[in-house]
Structure 1
């Protein structure tokens, strides 16, 4: 949308290892269309950038309404909100193919959104400070409760993350400020640790009160990590808006 890379390169980066991404409901188009055509159509409709939303129950992070769009985004756990046109995209992810050769397909539904500031998105500076503070607090509580973060599943998740980093994968598209890259990488590491802690039992937290304390310690960290990821993903659009004022 910013014209820093070609549409084909943008689509390759967006699709990744998925088989295909298509978009349905685009104004002026009948039926689903390929992602390359969809991006071009969005630019023709006046879209100058895309924002990410990562909502969770009770936390409409990055959304601006209306309720129908928010409900679809909440069900998916993610959405994209267009800058420059009152449109948003919600993905429906499915698997297809025979056993042993299953591939992922994504169908994005294009829907009307409300033109309003996205909910609860911090600045990069705020996100970085909140993330560091939440991580310190959670580490103290989880260490006291002796929460386990090891085992085959945990080690596999950490190894996969390290492998992606070692391959030199660019976490953000060209044009983003270095601080956004730093915040995103930290937020993704924190989100990984929270996921690992959730998936590996209660560690030494065996009483009901200790398990409740563990859950309470992880909840704000997970929320802060999502806020930081959204702040990082949306940093380019936010910076362009500030320059235009």
Structure 2
């Protein structure tokens, strides 16, 4: 049976996620931007939190942890490479490790780039991946600590997951990402349609996260460095994919 996934808006534009296994009754949390909405959602559903998966060290992904742990006794899982700047961890993980979360195995993927030590958690049995600020809806995280080549490698790992995988990313940036994506890939009919759907959803204050990986592969310019049309638009027909990605990311930084 697939996990029940609940998207929780936090702060001004963050998302946390609950994963609940209806067979075991166990629940995990991915990231802790803010305690109150997460604790309230757990109480409303009558769920008891057992595991907290942390993707990276930025404050808007960990600041809620003390308040959550005051209300729930849960083990905290995070990257070994980031342990020196994460809250205290009960379990340290690295790429290739697996950790039991609510009775399902989460596969750890190193997605460094936005930060060095950023990890994603892939649940292949339920077809969902929690990517935080690596792969995002119609975007990717700004490359703060790693290199462009590193970020491209991380995105390539995520792009290789099954296309029907649901991508749970960390922020509501999708409308702004769509405006930028249309400057890079203006002739993409799927992107135009998606941008219209995003505008409608946001006008109704509805989240645009999560999203299917298949949709990201078809519309997200940060996954489409090999696309001939994008390469023509950038005048980079013969450059390596990583260089095309770096140009796209640089343009987004200046957008």
After TM superposition, is the score higher than 0.5? no
Q: TM-score, normalised by structure 2?
A: 0.29
Give 1 or 2: higher helix fraction. Answer: 1
* Larger RCO, structure (CA 8 Å, separation 6 or more): 1
Of the two, which has the highest radius of gyration? 1
Q: TM-score, normalised by structure 1?
A: 0.30
